[in-house]
Chains A and B, each alone.
Chain A
Amino acid sequence: MDHIVIIGNGIAGVTLARHIRKLSDKRITIISAESDYFFSRTALMYVYMGHMKFEHTQPYENWFWKKNRIDLVNGFVKKVETDTKKLVLKGGSSISYDKLIIATGSKPNKFGWPGQDLKGVQGLYSKQDLEMLEKNAPNKKVCNRAVIVGGGLIGIEMAEMLRSREIPVTFLVREKSFWNGVLPAGESAMINEHILEHHIDLQLDTNLEKIISDENGRAKAVVTDKGETIECNVVGLTAGVAPNIDFLKDSGIELGRGVKVNRFLETNVKDVFAIGDCAEQHEGIGSRRPIEAVWYTGRMMGEALAQSICGNPREYSPGHWFNSAKFLDVEYQTYGWVFSERSKQDNEHHFHWRHASEKICITVAFDKDSHQFLGLNTFGIRMRHEIFDQWLTENKDIDHVMTYLKDANFDPEFFKLYEDEIIAKYNADFNKNISAKKKSWKRIFSIA
């Protein structure tokens, strides 16, 4: 019987293990040094904020693993010996495998800033990072101010976490506007406003120069490239993540920034695969990046690889792009591709609508010539995944999207609806005369 060994118990590795168990009787072992049981990484912030206890972030009860004959090993893999098909763990024990899957996720980026390894300087990725933050910033007395470096999704989450304990936060963002490498200008501007509303000291277009130590080797201040010195007790490094693959250096497995894999998620070494954040495609698939450090893609790779391992070889072939996040109180969903001004092609045009007073807006991307619908960003309005997926598959044009926009709304019942307002703006912007079709359950559920 094949012994499948998975390094990493995150969403990618666990999805893979679950699906292999559904499809086969193979022996499955998951190794992790981070936690005994699978937990939802995206939920760590809620533990610090007191919304949940750590145990609530675990999607399966503890009996689940034994019942499904998935062996869990708490250990740190130091070395992979591919010629003998053996893993060496810290402490010296070893585990043999028939097939090995690397699903070790990411680690926070550090860009060589002076002082980046001082006490009180940390990223926010792992369970250990969360525990460290609980020590570094238990309350506003111990932590008078925190400086967060890096304006992405983890940065704004960390700011929200610290604010929940009323700790003053300075947020250094390299870009001229928050996350504007990803978000179009209007949306990015709206999130800037929302960050300020939450009393976060947002400093745009500002880089970290160095972190200054006190006499005990603890961070006591940061210096920015604007020449400002900001006193603080905690520095959060949230300038993105990189694959967590240092232990593979001498393994003979081909590495780039991540573990190089082909479309079957195979590495250059037979019977060794990589999935999730740590996998790097030789070429990005479609408009996707070669490394996709996203919850959903980790899960999808696990779903796909399980088929291959169980005798039904399949490429990793993701469907239409989608993603979601929450910026403080504002929910964000995206379906298809909406690029920022910085990275969009000439053919991509945008329609943007923003509510007069609330933090609600949408951006619809379409091809300027064919008017084909390319994607949608929505802030503060929930939309149906199925419907947009269908529209993208059927290459609908933007007029179609506008006409049937009411079908796509996914806000809770009785919420105020904005489709008429949105379509009026669309008609005015593009000199059209679209009228919205009434929401139809029949259409919605014939799709879903």
Chain B
Amino acid sequence: MGNFDRSMSLAGEPPKALNTGQKLAIVTGMIGLGILILQLFNLNLGNTALWLTVSIVAIFAGIIWFSQAAYAHKHKGIKNDGVWFKSISSRGVLAWMGGIALTGFYIVLYFYPQYLGLVKDGDNTGLIALFDPLSKGLSGNPASQWFVYGTMYTVAILAFGAKFIWKYRHNKYEQLRTVSVMFFQTAFAFFIPEIMARLNGDLPYYDLKNMWPLNYYNFERYRINGFIDSGSVGMTMLFFGIISIFVISPFLTYKYGKRWYCSWVCGCGGLAETAGDSFRQLSDKSKFAWKVERWVVHSVVVFVTLMTTAVIYSYLGNDSSKYWLTKTMFISGVAVILTAVFAWVMIYKREELAKDAKYGAIGYFTIIAVLIGMHFFSDSANIFIFKAETLRTTYSFLIGSIFSGVIGTGFYPILGNRVWCRFGCPMAAMLGFQQRMFSKFRITTNGGQCISCGNCSTYCEMGIDVRAYAQKGENIVRSSCVGCGICSAVCPRGVLKLENGPEKGRINSQDVLLGNDVDLMDLVNKK
């Protein structure tokens, strides 16, 4: 067992085999992609607007056609037949090829955009030039590598989103949240910032749904100046950016869990849920991986907090002449907020933290406290030992580029579709902390109905061992859960339900499950 022949999957037998429709659809999509690749070699195809249209339409048509060929003739229901037989979805040869190609693309995108045709102070060439007409039509500016990426990203979310909706056509929850991520990507990440750039050139590019710390650069000096210089519109946006962090997101997370963001709004989540859906089963479910996850992702939170504090601190003045906020006010404010959060957790939520979480919290809090304390004894450029600029560039390189892009997306076919969200995203970690500490959200386990089959754990993209809770009759209340709802969908016995209910009794560990002797349950479960 386990030694299934993982062929290249264009041949083979059902459910591994592709039908004729799927094969033709792949050819169509590849033609679209091929046009883009040809552009990389600077083949001048002439009418760029036309070729760009042809390419995008072909990619769209290929993906939609593929979905139609895969799902239309089947009954609605779970469509996981052959997932572990297909090369692409079981770390076979195709998966490795795809992973290497994607990783390569991200490296070029982040570090060598000139190979995509980016020309500073001149007309773009190659692939980027192909996107110039579209960019000029939207914002009036020529395309950049980020515009090319943003467009392809949006195309991927829309086309694979349609595929996902087809796949889950029996499941309203899946459909609605997919329509939601498709909308937020298209409107908020793609069109609105471009149009705002056209209307007001001073405004920084701002994807309003992309809040700090995911948007780690939101409070850098050039952006703050941009906001301030753009008058009331800019100030409103800056204000929105701040209340998003402290008011809007905690409130929504309290009501609905972090899913309101991670699987309904977020662009990274949007790509993971649509283009990445075929790879969700690849996440590592081991307890070891969970441990690594907790340390790594919370370290990123600490890193981004230090970095942002240092960056803001570096450009604030010692008096209120330049900015309303002074260095001392700011650093004291940060210290007060962090201390308040730390104290609240340690006093009221202590019992909900695992031992290592407590050590981690105390350790990190001490480090931050010491660093802030050092402010009062050091010169202003070097708060936190390192230069703010060093922290910023290191973060931007390690986390912003390598982790979220190269590893996070490039390794989809090998490590699963939510590696970034799980191990790297500081936003997800912060929302997850709120979700674990104060939220109505849980995945309810239905009494004693679990048969330990493992579909829920296998298809959890965040690597949560859902079954470990369900088979104990225990609700699932985990920081990392993004509320995608797939565990509930794939459960063959109707055991799992995502819901927002009272906080009391949300975490309900028990030893003997419902269905057995009532007296025995009382005896064993009373703690």
Q: Do they bind each other? A: yes
Chain A residues within CB distance 8 Å of chain B: 11, 19, 22, 40, 42-43, 46-47, 49-59, 61, 127, 130-131, 134, 138-141, 164-166, 197-198, 295-296, 299-300, 303-304, 307, 312, 314-320, 322, 324-326, 328-329, 331, 333, 382-386, 389, 393, 410-416, 441-442, 444-445, 448
Contact A130 B1 (CB under 8 A): yes
Cα separation A130 to B451 with both chains bound (whole Å):
18
Residues of A within 8 A of B80 (CB): 46, 49-51
Contact A412 B516 (CB under 8 A): no
Smallest CB separation, A409 vs chain B (Å): 9
Contact A412 B489 (CB under 8 A): yes
Cα separation A447 to B489 with both chains bound (whole Å):
25
Contact B75 A197 (CB under 8 A): yes
Contact with A along B1-21 (1 / 0, CB 8 A): 110100000000111100000
Contact A445 B505 (CB under 8 A): yes
21 CB < 8 A contacts A-B: A42-B451, A42-B453, A51-B78, A57-B454, A59-B471, A198-B75, A299-B448, A299-B513, A303-B513, A307-B524, A319-B521, A322-B447, A322-B448, A326-B493, A328-B75, A331-B492, A333-B494, A389-B447, A413-B499, A415-B172, A441-B502
Interface members, chain B 469-527 (any A CB < 8 Å): 471, 485, 488-490, 492-494, 497-499, 501-502, 504-505, 508, 511-521, 523-524
Task: Give the contact stretch, choosing among B35-43, B82-90, B104-112, B236-244.
Answer: B82-90
Residues of A within 8 A of B171 (CB): 412, 415
Contact B81 A164 (CB under 8 A): yes
* B287 contacts partner chain A, Cβ-Cβ < 8 Å: yes
Smallest CB separation, B439 vs chain A (Å): 15
Residues of B within 8 A of A51 (CB): 78, 80-81, 83-84, 455, 458, 490
Residues of B within 8 A of A448 (CB): 444, 505, 508
Contact B520 A52 (CB under 8 A): no
* B286 contacts partner chain A, Cβ-Cβ < 8 Å: yes
Closest chain B residue to A63 by CB distance? Answer: B287
Residue with the highest number of chain A CB atoms closer than 10 Å, among B78, B494, B519:
B494
Cα separation A410 to B498 with both chains bound (whole Å):
10
Contact B514 A318 (CB under 8 A): no
Contact with A along B444-467 (1 / 0, CB 8 A): 101111011111011000000001
Contact A52 B172 (CB under 8 A): no
**Which residue from A19, A319, A324, A329 sits with its C-beta under 8 Å from B75?**
A329
**Which residue from A42, A131, A385 sits with its C-beta under 8 Å from B448?**
A385
Contact B13 A165 (CB under 8 A): yes
Smallest CB separation, A41 vs chain B (Å): 9
Cα separation A448 to B468 with both chains bound (whole Å):
20
Please give the number of chain B residues whose Cβ is less than 8 angstroms from any Cβ of chain A in the complex: 68
* B333 contacts partner chain A, Cβ-Cβ < 8 Å: no
* B137 contacts partner chain A, Cβ-Cβ < 8 Å: no
**Which residue from A43, A53, A316, A445 sits with its C-beta under 8 Å from B452?**
A43
Cα separation A61 to B511 with both chains bound (whole Å):
19
| Given contact pairs A52-B454, A59-B467, a sample of 16 additional A-B residue pairs in the complex whose CB atoms are under 8 Å apart | A42-B453, A43-B454, A49-B15, A50-B85, A59-B468, A303-B511, A303-B513, A328-B77, A331-B493, A385-B448, A385-B515, A410-B444, A411-B497, A413-B498, A414-B173, A415-B172
Cα separation A164 to B513 with both chains bound (whole Å):
33
Contact A322 B452 (CB under 8 A): no
Contact B514 A166 (CB under 8 A): no
Contact B14 A314 (CB under 8 A): no
Contact B13 A140 (CB under 8 A): yes
Contact B517 A319 (CB under 8 A): yes
Residues of B within 8 A of A384 (CB): 446-447
Contact A412 B172 (CB under 8 A): yes
**Which residue from B4, B287, B520 sits with its C-beta under 8 Å from A303?**
B520
**Which residue from A53, A165, A318 sits with its C-beta under 8 Å from B515?**
A318
Q: A303-B512, A303-B520, A333-B493 are in contact. Are A141 and B13 (CB under 8 A)?
A: yes
Residues of A within 8 A of B13 (CB): 138-141, 165-166
Residues of A within 8 A of B2 (CB): 53-55
Cα separation A307 to B497 with both chains bound (whole Å):
31
Cα separation A43 to B77 with both chains bound (whole Å):
17
Closest chain A residue to B506 by CB distance? Answer: A445
Q: A197-B75, A413-B173, A414-B176 are in contact. Are A49 and B446 (CB under 8 A)?
A: no
Contact A46 B505 (CB under 8 A): no
Residues of A within 8 A of B14 (CB): 139-140, 164-166
Residue with the highest number of chain A CB atoms closer than 10 Å, among B84, B172, B287:
B84
User: Total number of A-B contacts with CB less than 8 angstroms?
Assistant: 208
Cα separation A141 to B523 with both chains bound (whole Å):
57
Closest chain B residue to A197 by CB distance? Answer: B75
Contact B172 A50 (CB under 8 A): no
Contact A164 B451 (CB under 8 A): no
Residues of A within 8 A of B453 (CB): 40, 42-43, 46, 52, 57
Q: A141-B13, A413-B173 are in contact. Are A52 and B455 (CB under 8 A)?
A: yes
Residues of B within 8 A of A393 (CB): 518
Cα separation A278 to B524 with both chains bound (whole Å):
26
Contact B517 A314 (CB under 8 A): yes
Contact B77 A329 (CB under 8 A): yes
6 closest A-B pairs by beta carbon, nearest first, are: A385-B447, A382-B494, A329-B77, A139-B13, A43-B453, A414-B172
* B76 contacts partner chain A, Cβ-Cβ < 8 Å: yes
Cα separation A50 to B468 with both chains bound (whole Å):
22
Residues of A within 8 A of B444 (CB): 410, 448
Residues of B within 8 A of A141 (CB): 13
Residues of B within 8 A of A385 (CB): 446-449, 514-515
Residues of B within 8 A of A299 (CB): 448, 513
Contact B447 A444 (CB under 8 A): no
Contact B77 A52 (CB under 8 A): no
Contact A59 B505 (CB under 8 A): no
Residues of B within 8 A of A412 (CB): 171-173, 485, 488-489, 497-498
Contact A300 B515 (CB under 8 A): yes
Residue with the highest number of chain A CB atoms closer than 10 Å, among B172, B287, B508:
B172
Q: A43-B452, A47-B1, A412-B488 are in contact. Are A165 and B15 (CB under 8 A)?
A: yes
Smallest CB separation, B154 vs chain A (Å): 25
Q: A329-B76, A386-B514, A412-B171 are in contact. Are A445 and B501 (CB under 8 A)?
A: yes
Q: A42-B453, A46-B455, A333-B494 are in contact. Are A22 and B172 (CB under 8 A)?
A: no
Residues of B within 8 A of A127 (CB): 1
Q: A47-B1, A57-B453, A382-B497 are in contact. Are A164 and B77 (CB under 8 A)?
A: no
Residues of A within 8 A of B512 (CB): 303
Contact B449 A324 (CB under 8 A): yes
Smallest CB separation, B522 vs chain A (Å): 11
Residue with the highest number of chain B CB atoms closer than 10 Å, among A42, A324, A331, A393:
A324
**Which residue from B82, B494, B504 sits with its C-beta under 8 Å from A50?**
B82
Cα separation A175 to B142 with both chains bound (whole Å):
72
Contact B519 A415 (CB under 8 A): no
Smallest CB separation, B506 vs chain A (Å): 9
Q: A43-B452, A43-B454, A445-B504 are in contact. Are A307 and B15 (CB under 8 A)?
A: no
Residues of B within 8 A of A444 (CB): 501
Contact with A along B266-309 (1 / 0, CB 8 A): 00000000000000000000110000000000000000000000
Smallest CB separation, A219 vs chain B (Å): 21
Q: A50-B84, A304-B517, A382-B446 are in contact. Are A11 and B75 (CB under 8 A)?
A: no
Smallest CB separation, A444 vs chain B (Å): 7
Smallest CB separation, B70 vs chain A (Å): 14
Contact B1 A131 (CB under 8 A): yes
Cα separation A370 to B294 with both chains bound (whole Å):
56
Smallest CB separation, B8 vs chain A (Å): 16
Contact B454 A59 (CB under 8 A): yes
Smallest CB separation, A213 vs chain B (Å): 26
